[in-house]
Amino acid sequence: MQKNELLDLAVRAADDKNAANIIVLNMAGVSLISDYFVICHGNSEKQVEAIAREIKDRAQEEGIELKRLEGLQESRWVLIDLNDVIVHVFHKDERQYYNLEKLWGDAPTISVEQVLNS
């Protein structure tokens, strides 16, 4: 699966579970970790878990191996490493506290609408 298709899968899965304030950061040239970060949040632990599970399940349906899945048990900050795309699913309070968007502020953003409408 191509990077853009993987990004599309992650964003659509998060959107389908009503993830709030989905942001895509283009990490190419900014970080060696991944090409894209997807950052979103849920308003409860149950919603955070549902978003993370939806992304995990769709990736597995497509035969994509998860490099890492962390934080699902607590569902406050779930990290899903899909290799080229890393998804951060936060609880609303945790997202405000960690503020990854500011931490990686030098990374250009990609319009979620552009991803969803492609």
Tokens of residue 105, six digits: 């502020």
Q: What is the CATH number of the domain that holds 65?
A: 3.30.460.10
Q: What is the pLDDT along the chain (118 residues), one digit of tens a residue?
A: 577 889 999 999 999 999 999 999 999 888 888 999 999 999 999 999 999 999 999 999 999 989 999 999 999 999 999 989 999 999 999 999 999 988 898 899 998 887 887 7
Q: pTM for the full model? A: 0.93
Direct distance between the N- and C-terminal alpha carbons of the chain, in angstroms, rounded to an integer: 16
For the chain, the domain total comes to 1
CA-CA distances (angstroms) from residue 11 to 60, 85, 97?
15, 10, 22
Range of the domain at 81: 3-116
